[in-house]
Amino acid sequence: MIASHNPGKLAEIAALLAPYGVRTVGAGALGLPEPEETGASFEENAALKAHASAEASGLLALADDSGLVVPTLGGAPGIHSARWAGPGKDFRIAMARVERELGQSDRRASFVAVLALASPATDHGGEVATFRGEVHGHLIWPPRGERGFGYDPIFVPDGYDLTFGEMDPALKHQISHRARAFAKLVEACF
């Protein structure tokens, strides 16, 4: 099961798993609540979500914690990336806040994704493994592109001229932070 209620993450992770014959179901489809993210790192939050979902569902659970890291902002929004979008998860608000707080400062940024894979306690002792991926780039304004989700319309990965929001999903799946974390998961599990 994919331990997420975010439709963008669900679609992206399901697409990454599809070539391996893995059938997925989202946490929302099983009626599972979203656990509170109380960790101090992407790794802690991903592990917390995966473990809670594995225990509640009795299934192997894959969770993601990811976000935009801007060094000039002290690493913010970081693990609070979704919170910057407010209760309505309006990422236009979050992108405007990044722009406002950053001003004309250094616009280097990274996307970080940590995947956590947890088994239920009845199977393999409730183990959790984490896999981290990063992609570096810079931020642009105004936002460009309607593809992707979250901060994708303001992030241009190094070596490209397109934002993740403009990029063909197949290309993004090859180079994204989530794809890099997923490659590590595949190496360990398949």
Active site positions, annotated: 65
Give the list of residues 6+ apart from residue 20 with CB closer than 8 angstroms, or none: 186, 190
The Cβ of residue 122 has, within 10 Å, a number of other Cβ atoms equal to 10
Q: How many CA atoms lie within 13 A of 176 on its CB side?
A: 29
101 with 41: CB under 8 angstroms?
Answer: no
Residue type, 87: P
Calculate ∠ Cα 49-89-35, nearest 5°: 20
Distance CA(25)–CA(31), nearest Å, equals: 11
Render 34-79 in DSSP notation, one character per residue. PPP---SSHHHHHHHHHHHHHHHHSS-EEEEEEEEE-GGGTT-BGG
Helix (H, G, I), strand (E, B) or coil at 183: helix
